[in-house]
Amino acid sequence: MPWTNQELRLYHGTVDVHVASVLEGINLNHPAIRRAHDFGPGFYTTSSLHQAQKWAATLPKRRFPGTRPAVVYFVMPRDVMDLPGISANAGENGPRPVRRPTNPGMLAPKNGRADVISRLECAWFVRGTESDDDYWSLVEHFRGYPRGEDHCRGGEIPWYDVVAGPLSRAWVNRKVVQASDQVSFHTPRALEILNALQDKGALP
């Protein structure tokens, strides 16, 4: 398939009783969001459908007895996207109304569109090998004790909006799940964009 700056498709493994709340709007304060994840508390997705399905299959036994595995998908433009109530074109009676984002941390719409993941503050890890101290120091920051409080960034917001990298399998021994990835969202600014996506839903 040729590269066309195509949309990014992400998957989230969950259980059936949580699908509606995920699609209605992700909340960082939801009790299902825990601190002990590779990149800290946040909403985790992956570009691998198989990985999301495999994770979802573990949840009924491990955390949510009596539920069924489920996978939610999100289709995210890399650059800009149209939002409900926002139009880049003028109508017959002049410019159409623009709906401002509900969260002041979200980037304001430009020319009827809202910027998405390409303009967020991101940290990306590629290798995840045993010698990749940069990646493993962040994982240990949140997996070890005492657990880290944030991403230790300077300024008003100590979190990256989005972090992406391999999925750890045994962080103490510096082992990752082969052919895996995770894309995690950590700020209201990032989740506002994810929640505004129109192309999302539950897989059958």
- Calculate what percentage of the chain has a pLDDT beyond 90: 70
Torsion of CA 71, 143, 65, 24, to 10 degrees: -40
Q: Binning pLDDT at 50, 70 and 90, where does residue 85 land?
A: very low
Q: Is residue 24 part of a domain?
A: yes
| Residue 195 placed within a domain | yes
pLDDT for position 35: 82
Domain assignment present for residue 52? The answer is: yes
Per-residue model confidence (pLDDT) at position 30: 84
Distance CA(125)–CA(127), nearest Å, equals 6
What is the domain count for the chain?
A: 1
- Mean pLDDT, rounded, for 83-90: 41
Judged by DSSP in three states, 121 sits in: coil
170 pLDDT more than 60? yes
Please indicate, yes or no, if residue 112 is contained in any of the structural domains: yes
Summarize pLDDT for 67-77 with one digit per residue, the tens.
999 999 999 98
Domain around 158: 8-87+99-202
Does residue 93 form part of some domain? no
Ranges 33-37, 50-54, 190-194: which has the least confidence: 33-37
What is the model's pLDDT at position 180? 94
- Structure confidence at residue 92 (pLDDT): 39
> In the chain, pLDDT over 70 holds for what percent of residues?
82
Q: What is the pLDDT of residues 87-97, one digit of tens each?
A: 333 333 433 33
- Coil, strand or helix at 15: strand
On average, the pLDDT of the chain sits at 85
Report CA-CA distances (Å) from 79 to 165, 193, 200.
Answer: 20, 12, 17
- Is the pLDDT at 107 greater than 50? The verdict is no
pLDDT bucket at 167, cuts 50 / 70 / 90: very high
Alpha helix (H) residue ranges in 96-198? 133-143, 188-196
Q: For 148-159, what is each residue's pLDDT tens digit?
A: 999 999 989 999
pLDDT for 47? 97
